[in-house]
Amino acid sequence: MATTRSQLRADVRTELKKDPNGRIWTDAELNNYIDKWYLKVQRDGNFQWRENQGNTTFSTVVWTQEYTLPTDLGKVLLVRYQGTNLIKTDKINLKRQYSTFVSGTPSKYYTYGANIWFDVLPESAWTVDFDYLKRLAKFTADTDESEFGSDFDLAIVKYAEFLAWSSMDGKQQTASSQLQEYQLELDTLYSTYIFDNMEDLTFWLQRGNRYVTQANVLDR
């Protein structure tokens, strides 16, 4: 079952062990830290988490070259028209290729602003299959649930702790320790769900009171 923002915030307070009544960090501040993690973990995973997989379809309109992109678009993966994968290009290349746009069957596309454009004006109505990596929406209410599974909860808590301690003078060492614990959790999640190259991982190992990095999982 997915975890609500309210529960995540409570978990952060429990881990902080210092401010159960919100006198140092308000609920709004902890909510902000949780939101920052929500975007950061997507970026840290290069939006490759399964929760970032998106797909939509739309129909072309005859002689209409421009269509609106999904509002949660992070990165285009594949655009397919009439069962054919379209080639990505850019606006300048097409302007060099065509002095005026002609009608036909699209073979290329480009994105510009909030829209996707085809290289030619579609001659017929057809369904476009659009695969992409999406950006997950931030929490807006305490009852909102994380789109990530509960196994991401500890990573959320550790990064929120890092931000909380970073906001206090004289707590940089504590903050650094929480950031290292976050990195350990992230590496575990990354290796479980999306890695395809072990060199992408950075492990933090404790040596007495210090943490050192170890990049190769095989030497662990």
User: Which pLDDT value is given to residue 159?
Assistant: 96
User: Which pLDDT value is given to residue 203?
Assistant: 45
Closest CA to 94 of 85, 84, 83, 106: 106
**Token digits for 186?**
């992230």
d(CA 165, CA 46): 26
106, 134, 162 - which closes a domain: 134
d(CA 202, CA 112): 35
DSSP state of 19: -
171-180, 192-201, 205-214: which range is least confident on average? 205-214
Is residue 201's pLDDT more than 60? no
* Residues 122, 78 within the same domain: yes
Closest CA to 10 of 30, 40, 39: 30
* Residues 75, 175 within the same domain: no
* Residues 67, 124 within the same domain: yes
Domain housing 185: 5-47+138-219
134, 162, 182 - which closes a domain: 134
Q: What does the pLDDT look like over 109-160, one tens digit per residue?
A: 999 999 999 999 999 999 999 999 999 999 999 999 999 999 999 999 999 9
Q: Which helix (H) or strand (E) holds 97?
A: helix 91-97
* Residues 142, 197 within the same domain: yes
* Residues 38, 70 within the same domain: no
User: Which pLDDT value is given to residue 105?
Assistant: 94
**Percent of all residues in the chain with a pLDDT value above 70, rounded to a whole number:** 88
Is residue 212's pLDDT more than 50? no
* Residues 122, 86 within the same domain: yes
Is residue 215's pLDDT more than 60? no
Domain count, the chain: 2
* Residues 42, 55 within the same domain: no
116, 134, 152 - which closes a domain: 134
